[in-house]
């Protein structure tokens, strides 16, 4: 993985911001790499950076166009192809987090071969994985889990990396989704791995480490999501976390893309421990991260306080107020060592 920077972010014509979360995540964590966004008519997402045509992006020095929006199945819509071919013809590499391969589209493949640019399909790893072994390995690991998809697991994990490093921990973000891979430059899009190798891929992603080292592993999906729970369980078993943080969006009434209601935070804690102890009997919840963006300041403060009280665990909104209380709690349970 060697994606040239800076980036132009392609948002297509997605119907909401969640569908452009790849682009929005890159801008959140690597704004200095993102020169502009390219949007088609009807696009309802906005990364908050300048709109640019391909020609304007070329003049600004862009090297790669990131296809930073997805639909549910991860398929490339036909009406996005013209923009991608235009970017190739301008000399940009293309990087995509879609399930379908860029090179499977004949127009894109032909243009890329003609111009000699690179097509990066982040969801298609060339790595060969072994099946998971479930054996406890040295080092400490934290996993973010969720009441649903798209509730802030990646953001929380990246905020914990920043906060734990500032507090003296030896801690590394481990990306398991396409946006995380774009942000960190490495990782595995775990939902694209062949099913037999989910936990094995996570064991590869987070190998044995020094006793005081933390891998902060980006969670995916939810054990309660009928589409993706298998991915979440394989990720949990492969991560064998010592600590986990539950991520939640309090105003959502149905799980993303399906008709099912969200589970409670307590249900997520209980099932994560029940399943997670298979590969780490010491697994423990160390905090709760709530996305309160739909609430007022007063509502958010009240919810964080009441949730802290209910669960006896630090409860934060990573965006609104940071993850400090969770980092402090981890420092009490797992004091940072100087020999890590």
Residues of the shown chain interacting with its own copies in the complex, contacts defined by CB under 8 A: 72-74, 99, 130-135, 190-196, 198-200, 223-224, 226-235, 237, 257-260, 271, 274-275, 278-279
The secondary element (H helix, E strand) that includes residue 179 is: helix 178-184
Residue 324's Cβ-count burial label (10 Å; 0-12, 13-18, 19+) is middle
- DSSP class of residue 284 equals E
Which residue bears the tokens 């790893």?
A: 125
The nearest distance, CB 57 to its own copies, in angstroms, is 31
Shorter beta-carbon distance to its own copies: residue 117 or 233: 233
Maximum C-alpha span of the chain = 61
Select 74 or 322, whichever has its Cβ closest to its own copies. 74
Cβ proximity to its own copies: between 35 and 149 the closer is: 149
Instruction: Please give the helix or strand (H or E) that residue 294 lies within, else none.
Output: none
Nearer to its own copies, 31 or 261 (CB): 261
Nearer to its own copies, 127 or 299 (CB): 127
- In angstroms, what is the minimal distance from the CB of 225 to its own copies? 8
**Count, residues in the chain:** 340
E strands, 268-318, are 284-290, 315-316
CB of 195 to its own copies, least distance (A): 5
Residue 297, class by beta-carbon neighbours within 10 Å (0-12 exposed, 13-18 middle, 19+ buried)? exposed
CA–chain centroid gap for 173, Å, is 10
Nearer to its own copies, 144 or 292 (CB): 144
Q: How far apart are CA 146 and CA 269, in angstroms?
A: 9
């Amino acid at each position: 993985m060697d994606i040239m920077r800076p980036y132009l972010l392609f948002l297509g014509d997605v119907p909401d911001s969640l569908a452009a979360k790849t682009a929005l995540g890159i801008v959140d964590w690597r704004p200095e790499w993102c020169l502009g966004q390219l949007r088609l008519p009807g696009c309802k997402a906005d990364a908050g950076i300048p709109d640019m045509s391909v020609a304007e992006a070329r003049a600004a020095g862009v090297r790669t166009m990131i296809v930073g929006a997805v639909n549910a199945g991860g398929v490339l819509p036909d009406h996005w192809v013209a923009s991608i071919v235009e970017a190739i013809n301008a000399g940009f590499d293309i990087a995509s987090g879609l399930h379908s391969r860029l090179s499977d589209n004949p127009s894109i493949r032909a243009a890329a071969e003609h111009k000699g640019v690179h097509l990066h399909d982040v969801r298609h790893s060339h790595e060969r994985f072994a099946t998971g072994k479930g054996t406890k390995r040295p080092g400490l690991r934290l996993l973010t889990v969720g009441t649903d998809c798209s509730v802030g697991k990646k953001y929380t994990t990246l905020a914990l990396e920043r906060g734990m490093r500032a507090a003296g921990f030896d801690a590394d973000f481990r990306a398991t989704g396409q946006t995380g891979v774009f942000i960190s430059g490495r990782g595995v899009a775990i939902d694209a791995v062949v099913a037999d190798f989910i936990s094995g891929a996570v064991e590869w992603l987070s190998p044995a480490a020094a006793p005081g080292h933390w891998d902060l592993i980006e969670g995916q999906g939810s054990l309660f999501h009928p589409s993706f729970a298998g991915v979440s369980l394989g990720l949990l078993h492969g991560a064998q976390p010592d600590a986990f943080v539950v991520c939640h969006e309090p105003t959502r009434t149905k799980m993303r893309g399906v008709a099912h209601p969200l589970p409670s935070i307590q249900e997520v804690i209980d099932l994560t421990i029940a399943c997670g102890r298979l590969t780490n009997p010491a697994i423990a919840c160390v905090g709760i991260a709530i996305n309160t963006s739909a609430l007022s300041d007063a509502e958010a403060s009240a919810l964080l306080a009441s949730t802290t009280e209910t669960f006896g665990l630090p409860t934060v909104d990573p965006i609104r107020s940071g993850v400090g209380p969770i980092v402090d709690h981890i420092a009490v349970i797992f004091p940072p060592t100087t020999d890590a």
